[in-house]
Amino acid sequence: MTEPLPGWNETQSSSSKWAKLLFSGAYHTVLANSQGRFELTPVDYAVNTCLAAAWRVGTDSPKKLHVYNCVPNYKSNPMMLRDLINWGCETTRESLNVKKYENYYPIISKHTGIFDVSNFLFRKIPGQLWSLMNLGSYQNFQKDYKEAQLIARTFKPVTTENWEFDTSNMVELNERMDLVDRRLFPIDFDQIDWKRFIEYLAHGVYSCDKQPDTSDNPSKVPSPGYNTDILKIPQGVQIIDKNF
């Protein structure tokens, strides 16, 4: 791994960048479906599913093709997109000392017109005025604003629609495991503390983006605890070795 915390992609050009912009108040209105569910799978659950599925296929007789997915279906997926947005914004504001929009909770709309108008009025215009008062920052603001809009539109098919499996054979797979294996390789989505998971994600995308560039000097790669003086890591959450 090249990042200090697991569970996301490179923070400059991916869903992690979208999450960081979202959590830190870049959008007055988020382009998303407030009633939609969001497919999130912790990486260890994906790995555990692969291991359990491999065992299941290997012991099946007669041999036949099995296709397993690593996400819950619409009945067992509890993660609402609006919860992800609110919990992430809450964590960023309260734990990471991001003070730009202290009481900020974004509006959520799946309509592009509302997204464009509200962000133009409440993000672009105030941002332009503020940047003009700070010499040299206008071009940076324009670049950041355009990037935020582009990323939001890129992920529109994911954030405005419900992409869910009609069935989930993870439930069946979990039921076939014995009690010991269930404890060792958990894949039951009902056991996940999703609020804690989103807090962990918010800490990760923010702290990773704060790291210095070490591409030219690997010896400068920070330890897993880099910059934790500004992070109030939730109780029970651990930063694992990034070289795992």
Vertex 121: Cα angle to 118 and 126 (nearest 5):
135
Three-state DSSP class for residue 31: strand
- pLDDT for 125 equals 94
Q: How many helices (H) and strands (E) does the chain have?
A: 10, 2
In a domain? residue 8 = no
Q: What does pTM read for this prediction?
A: 0.72
Provide the sign of the torsion angle of the four alpha carbons 194, 111, 109, 113, taken in this order. Answer: positive
Q: In whole angstroms, give the CA distance from residue 93 to residue 80.
A: 20
In a domain? residue 241 = no
Q: In whole angstroms, give the CA distance from residue 126 to residue 139.
A: 14
In a domain? residue 40 = yes
Q: How many domains does the chain have?
A: 1
In a domain? residue 237 = no
Q: In whole angstroms, give the CA distance from residue 32 to residue 81.
A: 8
- pLDDT for 116 equals 97
Q: In whole angstroms, give the CA distance from residue 181 to residue 223.
A: 33
In a domain? residue 1 = no
In a domain? residue 176 = yes
- pLDDT for 206 equals 78
- pLDDT for 102 equals 53
Q: What does DSSP assign to residue 30?
A: E
**pLDDT 10s digit of each residue in the chain, 244 long?**
333 344 445 555 578 888 888 988 899 999 999 998 887 888 888 889 889 888 888 887 777 777 777 776 666 677 889 999 999 998 888 776 665 555 568 999 999 999 999 999 999 999 998 888 876 688 888 999 999 999 999 889 889 987 776 666 777 888 888 899 998 888 888 888 899 999 988 888 877 655 444 444 444 333 333 233 333 334 444 433 333 3
In a domain? residue 125 = yes
Cα within 13 Å of Cα(28), Cβ side: 15
* CA 78 from centroid of its chain's CA atoms: 15
Which strand (E) or helix (H) includes residue 109? strand 107-109
In a domain? residue 171 = yes
Determine the structural domain holding residue 99 and report its residue range.
15-230
